[in-house]
Amino acid sequence: MNRMFAIVEREMRKFFRSPTLMIMSLMMPILQLLIMGNAFGGKIVGAHVAVVDYDHGPEAVKIREGFDSIAVNIKTFTTVEYTDENKAREDVRTGKIDAAVVIPAQYSRRVYAQDAPRIGFVVDNSDLFTSGSLEAEMQSLVTALTAPVIQPRLASAIALEIVELYPYVNYMKFLLPACCALAMYISVMIGGGMLYIDDKARGVHEGYLVTPITGLELVMGLNMAGAIKAVLSGICLVVIGSLMAGLGVIFNPVADLELLALIVVTAIAFNGMMFLMMVRVDDPLVPRAMFGVLNLLLFYPSGAMYPIAAFPPWLRAIAVIDPFTYCVHGFKAILLKDGGFVAIQYDLLFLFVFGIGTLLIATPLFKRTL
């Protein structure tokens, strides 16, 4: 047992003596949270929309008043006056403006006559996000214009009352569980996989193998050290990320215990998986080459960025056996929903069984000789 702890001691001393490793394992997920959280979570602001008004009637004025209201309130877009519809369309195509509204001649008359009045809206649909936002704004404006001035006493339309269970989740908050999982993965990949193979290649393991340490003690020592490093990375990112995203759940001691349990089993699972993959590898280039592929294969199918329900069957099959899936789900359940132990019990069970299972397979594969 003491020999196993000697391995852990050596690994941890090395870990704390090389802060670069610690910083780099946290840097990527934090930057991802900061940049992607801000870049993807924002709304369109300050787009330029051309207005080509061939009507100039009272109803056209109402539309322009609606545009002015948008420009000063939610600021999605400001309008630019155009007199020629073709010129406006060409400018949308070349990207000088983002969209064009065409109010046709006789628009006001058609409104009053209830003769299918129409407004033209030219969008650049090569940019789905911008065109979608502008379309949504225009749709709500048209709905407001269509609404009767005096509401009927008895509503005939079916209304959907939406009840949001949780406070507003912005993109940075949504991304935090994925970033916590990613930080732990990077820590295991660098602190477990790469350093393990580098030590093997440098001959450090040869030094271990001539001592009376057993194969099991060596495997357990290396894995325990790798898991401790991953736990430290996970804790750091949960705390830093929660503060950055403005999540207060970390101040709840019960949630902290649940988070700790999740982090520990995730560390065991990730480390077991990594050790199984690296147990017979000798070439230091292999873990470096595998880093990106594994990241792609494990991170994206986990539902970290996009719901698993939208995946094709083969991708769902990967998600089912991917430990990232359960880690991300668990972090979401606690960080975003404060769902309690019940919400993460199956995640904990899967990750624990996965971790122990991979270690049980890897241990007999570990060679006690060169």
Partner 1 sequence: MSVHPTSPAETQNGPRQAIAVEHIVKRYGDFEAVKDVSFSVADGEIFGLLGPNGAGKSTLIRMMTTLVPITAGKAIVAGYDVARDPDAVRRMIGVIPQALTSDPDLTVEENLSIYAKLYSVPRAEREKNIAEVLEAVDLVKWRGAQVKTLSGGMRRRVEIARGLVHNPSIFFLDEPTTGLDPVSRIAVYEMLDNLRKTRHLTMLLTTHYMEEADTLCDRIAIVDHGTLVALGTPAELKRTVPGANVVEVHFGHDLPQWQTRLEGLDGVTSVQAESAGFYRVLTSSGSKTTMQLVEMAASLGETLTSLSVQNTTLDDVFVHYTGRQLRDELVKPPAFTLPPRPGAQP
- Chain contacts with partner 1 (rule: CB under 8 A): 2-3, 5-7, 9-10, 13-14, 17-18, 202-204, 206-214, 369-370
C-beta closer to partner 1: residue 13 or 93: 13
What are the beta bridge partners of residue 103?
53
**How are beta strands 77-82 and 99-103 bridged, if at all?**
unpaired
Could you tell me which of 229, 242, 233, 264 has the C-alpha nearest to residue 334? 242
Q: Alpha-carbon distance 39 to 362, whole Å?
A: 41
- Closer residue to partner 1 (CB): 220 or 259: 220
Quote the least distance from Cβ 185 to partner 1, whole Å.
24
Q: How far does Cα 333 stand from its chain's mean position?
A: 14
The minimum distance between CB 214 and partner 1, in angstroms, equals: 8
Nearer to partner 1, 5 or 299 (CB): 5
* Sequence-ordered list of residues with C-beta below 8 angstroms from that of 330, at least 6 positions apart, any chain: 177, 262, 266, 343, 344, 347, 348, 351
Q: Please name which of 173, 145, 174 lies closest in space to residue 62, comparing C-alpha atoms.
A: 145
Helices 2-17 + 215-245 axis angle, to 10: 40
Buried b (16+ CB within 10 A) or exposed e, 217-227: bbbbbbbbbbb
Amino acid at 19: P
Q: Which is nearer to partner 1, 337 or 368 (by Cβ)?
A: 368
d(CA 156, CA 125): 35
CA dihedral 68, 69, 71, 74 (to 10 degrees): -170
Task: Detail the DSSP E strand segments found in the chain.
Answer: 47-53, 77-82, 99-103, 120-123
Question: Closest distance between partner 1 and the C-beta of residue 7, in Å?
Answer: 8
Shorter beta-carbon distance to partner 1: residue 8 or 122: 8
Give me the least distance between CB of 186 and partner 1, in Å please: 20
Question: Which residue, 3 or 87, is less far from partner 1 as judged by CB?
Answer: 3
Are 170 and 41 contacting, i.e. CB atoms less than 8 angstroms apart? yes
Tell me the DSSP string of 269-298: HHHHHHHHHHTT---THHHHHHHHHHHHHH
What are the phi and psi torsion angles at 79 (to 5°)?
-100, 155
Contact between 281 and 290 (Cβ < 8 Å): no
Nearer to partner 1, 8 or 348 (CB): 8
Tell the smallest beta-carbon distance from residue 267 to partner 1 (Å). 22
CB of 89 to partner 1, least distance (A): 56
Minimum CB distance to partner 1, residue 328 (Å): 33
CA distance 330 to 343: 7
Minimum Å gap between C-beta 8 and partner 1 is 10
Closest distance to partner 1 from the beta carbon of 205 (Å): 8
Can you tell me the distance from the alpha carbon of 270 to that of 137, in angstroms, rounded to the nearest whole number? 45
Residue placing its CB nearer to partner 1 in the complex, 213 or 294: 213
Residue placing its CB nearer to partner 1 in the complex, 16 or 129: 16
Judged by beta carbon, residue 55 or residue 217, the one nearer partner 1 is: 217
Minimal distance, residue 213 CB to partner 1, in Å: 5
